[in-house]
Amino acid sequence: MAHLLHPYIRMFQTTVNKTIEFSGIGLHTGSHATVKILPCGKDKGIRFIRKDIPHAPVIKAKAKNVVATHYSTTLGKDGVTVSTVEHLLAAFYGLGIDNAAVEVYGPEIPIMDGSAAPITELIMEAGIRELTQPRRYLVITKPIEVRDKDKYVRLLPPDREGERAFTIDYTIDFSHPYLSKQSFSITLSPAAFREEVVSARTFGFLRDVELLRENGLVRGGTLKNAVVIGESDILNEGGLRFPDEFVRHKVLDLIGDISLLGVHIAGRLNAHRSGHTLNHALVKKVIKNPETWKVVEFVEEELADVSPQFRTALATA
């Protein structure tokens, strides 16, 4: 089997090599927060810990803990939440970090420059540590899709038997004179993720800002942490980081959302005009439909089907 592996397919789980710390303002709440990312052991997954709250409640980065998907993804448990987790989760997935404890001193992960680049660089500086437990891959075996009118997101089996790559094809199509259709494809690897996805920033339309603010959203939003699209141009002086920065950012969001499956994916994902709500609906549908996938891990350099154990873990996690 080993000959079918891409160089970036890891056999073993990982964590960060040392503690990482950053602070900033949340995009939606406008609240200041400090975040510490700590190394942790195998099979822990990604866990958020609200250190600013008595008894420091823990919220696992799992699909069942998603409590809101309106303009960002919020995780919560027993009434305690942490919001705008998607860019940090995308950084973990994209770089291949399976386990980490994320201590948060505030209600929302800081938006930084609107992209995942600052966090990704901090993780790269800290380094990635390999653990002894095999990493699991969820291999799509049958197409599975969620749809909302013309919007959809679907997972398809890998192009070749034995393939472990995760390829994303994404199309956005807005009815706006400046931003209409953009498409982007990527086969994920840490290098491709860093070069093509991490620096794409959050964006929004000027026409929506007032309504969003009235609804208590984007209170921390500025031209320093979001691309704002006016009638015929963007308002940011420095311009765009990529001509198709918008669709690349949607791919970043999607990676963060899909990572809530808690396992690396082997297959192909097609998305058309999707967002956090539809992405999360797909994750839930995948969990509910185990006939559409299997889970494999390396046992002495051979891939073994561990789907039954994984299904049990999913049901009880």
CB of 86 vs Zn ion, minimal distance in Å:
6
CB of 209 vs Zn ion, minimal distance in Å:
16
**Residues 223-242, mask of contacts with Zn ion (x by CB under 5 A):** --------------------
CB of 211 vs Zn ion, minimal distance in Å:
19
Beta-carbon contacts of 195 under 8 Å, excluding residues fewer than 6 positions away, are none
**Is 272 a known active-site residue?**
no
Using the minimum distance from each CB to Zn ion, give the nearer residue, 108 or 253.
253
> How many amino acids of this chain bind Zn ion (CB under 5 A)?
2
**Residues 135-174, mask of contacts with Zn ion (x by CB under 5 A):** ----------------------------------------
Q: Which segment (26-34, 196-204, 226-234, 303-311) binds Zn ion by CB under 5 A?
A: 196-204
3-state secondary structure 3-66: HHCCCCCCCEEEEECCCEEEEEECCCCCCEEEEEEECCCCCCCEEEEECCCCCCCEEECCHHHE
Among 103, 108, 163, 253, binds Zn ion (CB under 5 A): 253
Among 15, 73, 199, 202, binds Zn ion (CB under 5 A): 202
Start-to-end CA distance of the chain, whole Å, equals 30
Using the minimum distance from each CB to Zn ion, give the nearer residue, 72 or 99.
72
CB of 253 vs Zn ion, minimal distance in Å:
4
What's the full length of the chain, in residues?
A: 317
Using the minimum distance from each CB to Zn ion, give the nearer residue, 84 or 292.
84
Which residue among the candidates 87, 249, 276, 280 is catalytic per the annotation?
276
Distance CA 204, CA 161 (A): 40
User: Does residue 108 touch Zn ion according to CB under 5 A?
Assistant: no
Residue 290 near residue 141, CB atoms below 8 Å: no
CB of 282 vs Zn ion, minimal distance in Å:
17
CA angle, 201 then 140 then 169, to 5°? 35
Using the minimum distance from each CB to Zn ion, give the nearer residue, 202 or 274.
202
Which helix (H) or strand (E) element contains residue 101?
Answer: strand 100-105
Q: What are the helix (H) ranges across 159-200?
A: 190-196
Using the minimum distance from each CB to Zn ion, give the nearer residue, 63 or 112.
112
Using the minimum distance from each CB to Zn ion, give the nearer residue, 62 or 250.
250
Residue 282 near residue 147, CB atoms below 8 Å: no
Residue whose beta carbon is closest to Zn ion: 253
288, with CB counted inside 10 A (0-12, 13-18, 19+), is: exposed
Q: Report CA torsion sign: 88, 46, 261, 299.
A: positive
Distance CA 313, CA 44 (A): 12
Largest CA distance in the chain: 58
CB of 112 vs Zn ion, minimal distance in Å:
11
Catalytically active residues, by annotation = 276
Binding site for Zn ion (CB under 5 A): 202, 253
